[in-house]
Amino acid sequence: MAASTGKGGVTSFQKKSRTKTLQIPGTRPSSQGNQLLVSTGVPSLDHIIGGGIVVGTVLLVEEDSFGNYARLLMKYFMAEGIMTRHPLLLSSAELHPKQLLRDLPAPVSDDIGKAALHQEDVSSEKNVEKEATMKIAWRYQNLRTEQPELGAFSKFGHYYDLSKTMSSEMIDTAPSRLFYLPDELPLEEQGMWNSIRNPAYVKLLQSIQDVVREGQFDLTVPQPKDVSRTVLRIGLHSLGSPLWGEQDGGTSHDTSLPHFLHALRAVLRTSLTACLITIPTHLFQDMAFTRRLEKLCDSVIRLESFAGSEKEQNPAYKDYHGLLYIKQLSQANSLLSYMPDCNDFAFKLRRKKFAVEKLHLPPELQDSQQREQDDPVAALKTPSTGCFSTSGKSKLDF
């Protein structure tokens, strides 16, 4: 891949790349093909979905029952956009997008420090001191001693501290466009379905198209060479909730949301955008409807939080806050999607990290389990998960 990662390379070797990939700060090429990836803001989540969100595709997050963790993922996504200086488009129906933006987690402090240092370095001259002549590695004597730090904004994937919020200057200076449904579409019009389309979704799609056109993210329109391109991050929070006017609780007969997703795909595929949508699919009565929505998005993950369910007391899950299921991974521009090692993931939320980890079923917790009903770990070992539930009750009688 072309040298775009900005690590301090001391050699002059540069791999010749045949394909010309756009070099945009905050993105990196995927390992599968010459596609650009954008970070979701959670580095461990990036890792399990194949490096990040592919530019031009949609990552669908099926919300947990209370919506907390999905909202958190949206905040990470937006915060990452601010750190990498990608313009944002945020839409929401119940919570004003400004409130969501005001509450973004602050980046972990050493990233800020580097960013500040970088500003000073650029303005002042680089001061290269002559070190003592090298005796062993003399070949490297004449090379520069320091590579310039490219700064935090071109790094891929930052860590955030949830106990602090991002400074308001950073948020205000970031280019963003907000779509708050009650502002854009007055309440009287929301219920009016004069055709089979939900007017709320139509308005949203039109505003997305406007932003793409104005911000020059459209790839079909040729741009002059010196215009630096960047990626637009679109966050659609809690789409398909009753506030958007979903009628009948989401049955298979309702085609507004599928049509919106299909038309959105048409817009995204020809522009430099990455989209994160959260949908409360647990509200839909019909699984078939959810499945259709999933097929129309590129990557799908589902969150299940333990809050309020009996799994909270389960000792196997005691370190974690919830489970994460990968339901589908993006196949855009490639023959196959990224294949993860396993499909059992759990997430835990710490102050400075939202970590997604492989869930390992622990071995027998205690030797003296009298009755099988008492052993909660054994209850987890269902045979249907395939290759990974290898541990079973192995009390061999001799």
Partner 1 sequence: MEDSCVRGQFVLISDSLTDGSFLIHHFLSLYIKGGWKVCLLALAQSFGHYNAVGQKLGVPLTQAREKGQLRFIDGLKCSLQMYTCAPQEGQGENPLRALRDKKATLRPLYDLVKTQICSEEGVLEGPTLLLVDDLSVLVSLGVSAKDVSDFMHYCRVLMCPTQQGYCRVLMCPTQQSQGAIVSLVHKDADVEDEENSTLFRHMAYHGTVHLAVEGLSSGYSRDVHGQSNLY
Residue 393 touches partner 1, criterion: CB under 8 A: no
Residue 291 touches partner 1, criterion: CB under 8 A: yes
In this structure, the chain runs to a length of 398
Question: Binders of partner 1 among 157-216, rule CB under 8 A?
Answer: 194-197, 202, 205-206, 209
The residue written with tokens 């994160």 in the block is 276
d(C-alpha 109, C-alpha 106), whole Å: 8
d(C-alpha 119, C-alpha 271), whole Å: 31
Count residues binding partner 1 (CB under 8 A).
Answer: 44
Element (H, E) at 189: helix 187-190
Burial of 278-311, coded b for 16+ CB within 10 Å and e otherwise, reads bbbbeebeeeebbebbbebbbbbbbbbbbeeeeb
Residue 384 touches partner 1, criterion: CB under 8 A: yes
Rounded to the nearest whole angstrom, what is the least distance from the CB of residue 196 to partner 1 in the complex? 7
- Closest listed residue to residue 41, CA positions, set 157, 170, 151: 157
Residue 1 touches partner 1, criterion: CB under 8 A: no
Out of 21, 68, 270, 391, the residue judged to bind partner 1 by CB under 8 A:
270
Out of 77, 217, 260, 320, the residue judged to bind partner 1 by CB under 8 A:
260
Rounded to the nearest whole angstrom, what is the least distance from the CB of residue 335 to partner 1 in the complex? 5
Structure tokens at 221: 């329109």
Rounded to the nearest whole angstrom, what is the least distance from the CB of residue 259 to partner 1 in the complex? 5
The residue written with tokens 């793409």 in the block is 212
d(C-alpha 319, C-alpha 12), whole Å: 46
Q: Show the site string, 318-357: x = touches partner 1 by CB under 8 A, - = not.
A: -------------xxxxxxx-xxxxx--------------
Residue 258 touches partner 1, criterion: CB under 8 A: yes
Closest to partner 1 by CB, 259 vs 381, is 259
The residue written with tokens 């990557």 in the block is 299
C-alpha angle 192-90-230 in degrees, rounded to nearest 5: 130
Interface residue list for partner 1 (CB under 8 A): 33, 194-197, 202, 205-206, 209, 252, 255, 258-260, 262-263, 265-267, 269-270, 287-288, 291-292, 295-296, 331-337, 339-343, 384-388
